[in-house]
Amino acid sequence: MIRTLFSALLAIASMPAIAAPTLITPDRVWDGEAMHSGWQVLVDGGRIVAAGPNLTAPDGTQRLALPGQTLLPGFIEGHTHLLLHPYDAVPWDDQVLKESEAYRVARAVVHARATLMAGFTTARDLGTEGAGTADVGLKRAINEGHILGPRLLIATRAIVAPGSYAPKNDAWHVPQGAEEADGPNLVSAVRRQIGAGADLVKLYGDYRWRPGEGSRPTFSQAEMTAAVAAAHDAGRPVAVHANTAEAMRRATLAGADVIEHGGEGDAATFALMAKNKTPLCPTLAAGEAIARYRGWNGQDPAPPVVVEDRAAFQLALKAGVPICMGGDVGVFAHGENAREMLAMAKAGMANAAVLTAATAGNARYFGLADRGRIAAGLLADLVAVPGDPVADLTAVTRVRFVMKGGTVVRAD
């Protein structure tokens, strides 16, 4: 059994893009923004060649029927940590301090495959959490076809203000889950991380200075503005971890490209974000997972922390803030990425808007003009689910077909 699976994996990993054009006929197509019954999609050379009704296909075209299924653009995970695994099995502190980089990378290889098989053909990985620049090698191994995984946007080590992050130890300074830098050194850290391979820069705009206390801002407005400017000079976007309204406000004014979490956001802050078109990545699924680890059964009434996250998310929706789909995967299991989609719907977002957030929306917010929609010329990153996910969003947890760059990596 194990041997069969292993040979199958090797075969898939070394499979070239399908040579002949392929005409895919599902029941319906979600193009990233709207549903179309009776559409087909023609793929060739790793790209989408055409999408629409009654397509004419060239001689020699392979035909692939997906009866009863909806074809969508490959999902884009907005917030993952492939080098972490669920905190209920091993607490975050112990992963950072006691697991070797080799062990963490070995597990990340499995996490990358699980992410792709769940239909996530692109993932924004927001920091290795103490595993150095291991994400650079992971991304390379995926891109070269040695292992299966999504197309990665990586942040390498991420940057925190000295003293603000974790793990904490009162006896000595222990290795931290991100690079510590501030003042003029902050801009140097941004540049070093970009030079080491970061596709984007991740800053922690606030954090709990000591365990058990609430979050407080870390970087000053001047520091944040300088860091974002240095990243933008290098053509890299910036993601800012911010739960407090003040850190969110500073990040928005600094020109940050996406704000992560936002659990304490207020109406004024969300109004500012909406005005500046700064997206929020709410990571509702991570808060829900942590509440479950503390005993919540997932039913209503939800514990206060979950209720507060949902309330902030609703304020953001009401203010018209662009919403990214990203669950902070790693807190919970890789491959269960769609939990964030269900959490967003549960918190009041329409199913169609959730699907857009996970496809065309994330592509737009992350500057990925070559994916996120089903349209001629874009990457042939496609996923199929049973039924109609607009009518029943839980379909996104039952992915049956995944194509990445024209290669079928899953067909149940």
Q: For Zn ion, which is the closer residue by CB, 29 or 96?
A: 96
Residue nearest to Zn ion (CB): 328
**Minimum CB separation from Zn ion for residue 76, in Å?**
16
**Minimum CB separation from Zn ion for residue 183, in Å?**
25
Q: For Zn ion, which is the closer residue by CB, 135 or 328?
A: 328
Which has the closest alpha carbon to 29: 363, 390, 349, 369? 390
Collapsed DSSP state (helix, strand, coil) of residue 224: helix
**Minimum CB separation from Zn ion for residue 301, in Å?**
27
Q: For Zn ion, which is the closer residue by CB, 328 or 388?
A: 328
Q: How far apart are CA 296 and CA 159, in angstroms?
A: 32
**Minimum CB separation from Zn ion for residue 326, in Å?**
8
**Minimum CB separation from Zn ion for residue 207, in Å?**
12
**Minimum CB separation from Zn ion for residue 84, in Å?**
8
DSSP state of 176: P
Q: 56 to 115, contacts with Zn ion by CB under 5 A?
A: none
Q: How far apart are CA 237 and CA 231, in angstroms?
A: 6
> What is the token pair recorded at 121?
């053909």
Identity at 379, one-letter amino acid code: L
Q: For Zn ion, which is the closer residue by CB, 75 or 204?
A: 204
Q: For Zn ion, which is the closer residue by CB, 186 or 285?
A: 285
Q: For Zn ion, which is the closer residue by CB, 330 or 389?
A: 330
CB 165 within 8 A of CB 207: yes
Q: For Zn ion, which is the closer residue by CB, 22 or 283?
A: 283
Contact track, Zn ion, 109-128, x by CB under 5 A: -----------------x--
- Give DSSP secondary structure letters for 231-273: HHHTT--EEEEE-SHHHHHHHHHHT-SEEEE-TT--HHHHHHH
Sheet containing strand 75-80, strands side by side = 75-80, 120-125, 151-154
CB 70 within 8 A of CB 385: yes
Q: For Zn ion, which is the closer residue by CB, 64 or 126?
A: 126
Q: How far apart are CA 246 and CA 244, in angstroms?
A: 5
Q: 187 to 226, contacts with Zn ion by CB under 5 A?
A: none
Chain centroid to CA 313: how far? 17
Partners of 29 in the β-ladder: 36, 71
**Minimum CB separation from Zn ion for residue 56, in Å?**
46
Q: How far apart are CA 230 and CA 354, in angstroms?
A: 33
Q: For Zn ion, which is the closer residue by CB, 64 or 291?
A: 291
Q: Torsions phi, psi of 86, nearest 5? A: -50, 135
Q: 319 to 338, contacts with Zn ion by CB under 5 A?
A: 328
Contact track, Zn ion, 123-162, x by CB under 5 A: ---x------------------------------------
Q: How far apart are CA 348 and CA 328, in angstroms?
A: 19
**Minimum CB separation from Zn ion for residue 79, in Å?**
6
CB 111 within 8 A of CB 75: no
**Minimum CB separation from Zn ion for residue 160, in Å?**
12
Binding site for Zn ion (CB under 5 A): 126, 328
